[in-house]
Structure 1
Amino acid sequence: MKEEDYYFSERKELLKFISPKIERTLDVGCASGTFSEQLKNKFDIETWGIEMVEEYALIAKEKLDYTLHGTFDEVYEKLPKNYFDCIFFNDVLEHMVEPENCLKKVKQNLMPGKTVIASIPNIRYINILKNLILKRDWKYEDSGILDHTHLRFFTKKSIVRMFENCGYKINRIEGIRSISPYCLTSIINLLAFNSLDDIKHQQFVVVASPL
């Protein structure tokens, strides 16, 4: 994904994971605010965003109700407690040194029974495995799963484990940006006794609620 695509993406593939009853949302790493602006127009809700890149934070301020410029840790104390009914981490947690600390903190900002929704790259995606196993290469790139700014890498199992260790219940986890099931990945998965069913997904979306 090009930089301009990342910062201005609507992420329409995430809409099916969102309850239509939301009223107040927080988008951590909101970029230009395009995703949350879409939610604001669709659901008529109050939208908050956090963005560390000043250029894009200024754009987001024109679209959202409240935009905080800075890193999550820098602006966290400005967030209201027990306030949001959905907090988003769209391709954000993998950029953090300790995403667990962030997930633990935002539980205080959620209303009871509400959710965190996160999209996270899958390091077991077949193209990554192919380069690693067949080409014996691990090459960082300007974007994608091996983005050079990614500090953490996740599998489906490690995503679930991280959320559970942070005191969340997994309501739903589903692969997105997937290769067609009628291709080589299905054959490989069958030969591996269904142990490779996750390799066709570039990302996973997790919907979780604090216990």
Structure 2
Amino acid sequence: MSCYFHHVRQEIRPLLPRTATSILEIGAASGQTLRWIRTIYPDAMTTGVEINDAVAEELSRNADVAILGSIDECLPRLKKYDLILLLDVLEHLVESKAVLQKVRGLLQPGGHVVVSVPNVAHLSVAIPLLFKRRFEYQDAGILDRTHLRFFVEDTAIGLMNDAGLKVSKGLISGMQGYKAKTLHRLSFGLLKHHLAKQYIMLGEAIDGEEPQKPFSWRIAE
């Protein structure tokens, strides 16, 4: 089975709120991230939604509540949560904005959503397009052949805003390697958005027409 189903998304730690009592992860895979997050919020109730029934047994061990099925199928069975995770999910959906709007409706007052999406402006995509006029779908990564939506910084933030969420904090992921760190340093940060493989955002519900305020992207460790 792909390592994706057992990956722990510890890089989201700087975005997590101080407290959470009811946590939902959509696209929870085998629930490893939920298992880890219980070490931060030991008294929280965790719920994992996953479409792949091959990991059902493992998910049921790692989450208090395991729900199998597509997002639309599972929405009527979900409750209210003060922390919701959608990590590497929305790019796979035809109606990503509509789904995120529905998920926003599951937030308790003062709740938070953590969303990650891939950055199609990454150098691994941009350079072949520029010099070879070519891109090739892959089995995983930014050009995963199952991706239906592609994002850059503005469209990632715009997706959140269109769903009624403001981004209060953001992480750039994918710059942990030596080459990326060196390019980031030598370019004085000017290549930051071409070295980002993912944008990870902390969203909060917008009241009325509250505008998106500027924020600084941090580099994920």
What TM-score results when the alignment is normalised by the length of structure 2? 0.86
Aligned equivalent of 1:32: 30
**Which residues of 2 match residues 111-190 of structure 1 at below 5 A?**
111-178=108-175, 180-183=180-183, 186-187=186-187
- Asked if 1 retains the 8 angstrom alpha-carbon contact of 2:184 and 2:195, the reply is no
1:88 is aligned to 2:82: no
1:73 is aligned to 2:72: yes
Distance 2:52 2:115 in 1: 20
Amino acid at match of 1:24: S
Identity fraction in percent: 27
Amino acid at match of 2:199: F
Amino acid at match of 1:68: I
Aligned equivalent of 2:195: 200
Distance 1:186 1:109 in 2: 44
- Asked if 1 retains the 8 angstrom alpha-carbon contact of 2:170 and 2:200, the reply is yes
The gaps in structure 1 that reach 5 residues or longer are none
Name the SS of the counterpart of 1:198 in structure 2: helix
Cα distance, 1:51–1:11 mapped onto 2, change above 3 Å: same
The size of the alignment, in residue pairs, is: 202
Q: Deviations over 1:162-187 (max 9, x none)?
A: 11111111111221111634327853
Amino acid at match of 2:180: S
1:18 is aligned to 2:13: no
Name the SS of the counterpart of 1:209 in structure 2: strand
Q: CA RMSD in A?
A: 1.7
1:57 shift after superposition: 2.5
Distance 1:162 1:30 in 2: 21
The gaps in structure 2 that reach 5 residues or longer are 207-221
- Asked if 2 retains the 8 angstrom alpha-carbon contact of 1:185 and 1:200, the reply is no
1:109 shift after superposition: 1.1
Amino acid at match of 1:4: S
- Asked if 2 retains the 8 angstrom alpha-carbon contact of 1:123 and 1:153, the reply is yes
Q: Deviations over 1:39-74 (max 9, x none)?
A: 123321211010000011332012111011000001
1:138 shift after superposition: 1.0
Distance 1:149 1:56 in 2: 19
Amino acid at match of 2:36: Q
Structure 1 stretches of 4+ moved >6 Å: none
Amino acid at match of 1:71: S
- Asked if 1 retains the 8 angstrom alpha-carbon contact of 2:184 and 2:192, the reply is no
Aligned equivalent of 2:39: 41
1:101 is aligned to 2:98: yes
Q: Deviations over 1:100-127 (max 9, x none)?
A: 1111111221111211101111000111
1:20 shift after superposition: 3.2
